C-alpha cells in the first residue's frame, strides 16, 4: 500500500491537540530507510498512532534557511562531535502558515532543546527583536548581526507527523528532501528520515519496535550537515566520509547532485539579505533555483 494510502488509515489529530506533546526538550533517535521499507513499518503501527492533519492535508511542506558563522563553527562543532552544539535556522511551516526563528541545542547528555520565536518576517535577514532573541539564547564571543551569521544552506521537504496514542512520543517522517548550495542542488530521492522524539531515552514504543523488527537501526542524521557535506566538497568532512559512503550505498542512484546553471537560491538570498523589502521569499527562491 502506498504511503499516501497508508496515511489515510491513521486517525487524525489537529495541531492544537498535538501541542500536548510538543516535546521541545527531548531525546531524539533518527533512522534512514527507503520509502518502501517505511510503508511496511507504518502498516505495522497504523492503529497505535495519530497523524497530524491540517486543512485536510496529512503531508506538509517545510522550507528552512540555515545560518552559520563565517568560519562554519556550527557545522564544524557537529562534524567534530562536540557534545554541546547548536543549529540556527528560520523555518516556514507552509500549510500552517507559520514561520519561526529556531535555535536547536544538544547538550552533553544527548538531550535536544528547541527554542523558538515567531519570525517577524519571511526574510533571511534578522530584525532587532530576532537578534535579541539569538543573543539572549546563545553564547557567541562576538556581536551577533546580519553580517556575523550568514545563510549557508537551505532545504525543503515534506513531513508526516505522528503522535502515539498515549501522547508520550512524537515522530516526524521527512521525504522528498532537497538541499541547495550556491552552485548545486542535492536530491535525496527515495530516502525517508524518521525521527522519534521522546521525553525519556530508550523508551520502547510500537514505532521503535517496528523499526527494530524491520532491521532499521538508529543512525544520526543532520539535514543541514549532511546536505552541506554532499554539496560542498571543500568543507571539512573527513569524519562524515564513512557516513556519506554508507548513504550512497544504501540509496544507490537515489542521491542526485546536479549543478545549477542559473543563479542559485543562496546567491539570490545573499544578494537580498539586508534590504528591508527585498529579503528572502521562499516561493521566489525555489523558482530561482529551478525547484
* pLDDT at position 258: 93
Phi, psi of 288 (to 5 degrees): -60, -40
* pLDDT at position 271: 57
Distances (CA, A) of 164 to 46, 131, 181, 196: 10, 36, 36, 11
Confidence of residue 110 (pLDDT cuts 50, 70, 90): confident
* pLDDT at position 217: 93
| Cell digits of residue 209 | 519496535
**Total domain count for the chain?**
1
Domain at 136, CATH number: 2.40.320.10
Instruction: Specify the range with the lowest mean pLDDT, choosing from 8-17, 107-116, 140-149.
Output: 107-116
Diameter over CA atoms, the chain: 53
Q: Please state, for a pLDDT cut of 90, what percent of the chain lies above it.
A: 66
Confidence of residue 112 (pLDDT cuts 50, 70, 90): confident
Confidence of residue 18 (pLDDT cuts 50, 70, 90): confident
Confidence of residue 109 (pLDDT cuts 50, 70, 90): confident
User: Chain-wide mean pLDDT for the chain?
Assistant: 87
Q: What is the pLDDT of residues 233-267, one digit of tens each?
A: 999 999 999 999 999 999 987 899 999 866 556 66
Q: Which element (helix H / strand E) includes 36?
A: helix 35-45
Judge residue 92's burial from the number of C-beta atoms within 10 Å of its C-beta, 0-12 exposed, 13-18 middle, 19 or more buried: buried
* pLDDT at position 183: 87
What is the mean predicted confidence (pLDDT) over 182-194? 93
Distance from C-alpha of 105 to C-alpha of 90, rounded to nearest angstrom = 15
Given a cut of 60, is residue 230 above it in pLDDT? yes
> Which residue range forms the structural domain that includes residue 34?
3-288
* pLDDT at position 71: 94
CB 55 within 8 A of CB 171: no
What is the mean predicted confidence (pLDDT) over 187-196? 94
pLDDT greater at residue 96 or residue 101:
101
Distances (CA, A) of 21 to 9, 194, 221, 224: 21, 17, 23, 25
Given a cut of 90, is residue 100 above it in pLDDT? yes
Instruction: Specify the range with the lowest mean pLDDT, choosing from 26-40, 70-84, 236-250, 264-278.
Output: 264-278
Q: What is the pLDDT of residues 49-70, one digit of tens each?
A: 999 999 999 999 999 999 999 9
Confidence of residue 268 (pLDDT cuts 50, 70, 90): low
What is the mean predicted confidence (pLDDT) over 19-41? 82
Distance from C-alpha of 66 to C-alpha of 165, rounded to nearest angstrom = 33
* pLDDT at position 281: 52
Confidence of residue 274 (pLDDT cuts 50, 70, 90): very low
CB 113 within 8 A of CB 25: yes
Amino acid at each position: 500500500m502506498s504511503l499516501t494510502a497508508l496515511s489515510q488509515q491513521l486517525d487524525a489529530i489537529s495541531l492544537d491537540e498535538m501541542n500536548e506533546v510538543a516535546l521541545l526538550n527531548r531525546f531524539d533517535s533518527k533512522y534512514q530507510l527507503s520509502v518502501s521499507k517505511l510503508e511496511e513499518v507504518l502498516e505495522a503501527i497504523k492503529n497505535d498512532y495519530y497523524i497530524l492533519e491540517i486543512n485536510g492535508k496529512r503531508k506538509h511542506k517545510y522550507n528552512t534557511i540555515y545560518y552559520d558563522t563565517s568560519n562554519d563553527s556550527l557545522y564544524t562543532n557537529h562534524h567534530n562531535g562536540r557534545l554541546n552544539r547548536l543549529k540556527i535556522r528560520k523555518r516556514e511551516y507552509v500549510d500552517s502558515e507559520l514561520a519561526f526563528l529556531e535555535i536547536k541545542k544538544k547538550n552533553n547528555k544527548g538531550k535536544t532543546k528547541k527554542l523558538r520565536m515567531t519570525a517577524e518576517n519571511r526574510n533571511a535577514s534578522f530584525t532587532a527583536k530576532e537578534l535579541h532573541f539569538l543573543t539572549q539564547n546563545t553564547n557567541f564571543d562576538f556581536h551577533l548581526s546580519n553580517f556575523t551569521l550568514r545563510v549557508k544552506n537551505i532545504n525543503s521537504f515534506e513531513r508526516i507527523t505522528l503522535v502515539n496514542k498515549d501522547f508520550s512520543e512524537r515522530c516526524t517522517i521527512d521525504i522528498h528532501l532537497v538541499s541547495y548550495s550556491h552552485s548545486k542542488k542535492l536530491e535525496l530521492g527515495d530516502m525517508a528520515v524518521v525521527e522519534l522524539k521522546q521525553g525519556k531515552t530508550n523508551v520502547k514504543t510500537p514505532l521503535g519496535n517496528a523499526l527494530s523488527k524491520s532491521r532499521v537501526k538508529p543512525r544520526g542524521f543532520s539535514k543541514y550537515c549532511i546536505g552541506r557535506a554532499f554539496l560542498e566538497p571543500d568543507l571539512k568532512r573527513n569524519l562524515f566520509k564513512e557516513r556519506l559512503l554508507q548513504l550512497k550505498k544504501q540509496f544507490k542512484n537515489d542521491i542526485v547532485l546536479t549543478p545549477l546553471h542559473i543563479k542559485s537560491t543562496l546567491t539570490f538570498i545573499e544578494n537580498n539579505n539586508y534590504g528591508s523589502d527585498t529579503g528572502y521569499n521562499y516561493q521566489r527562491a525555489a523558482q530561482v533555483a529551478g525547484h
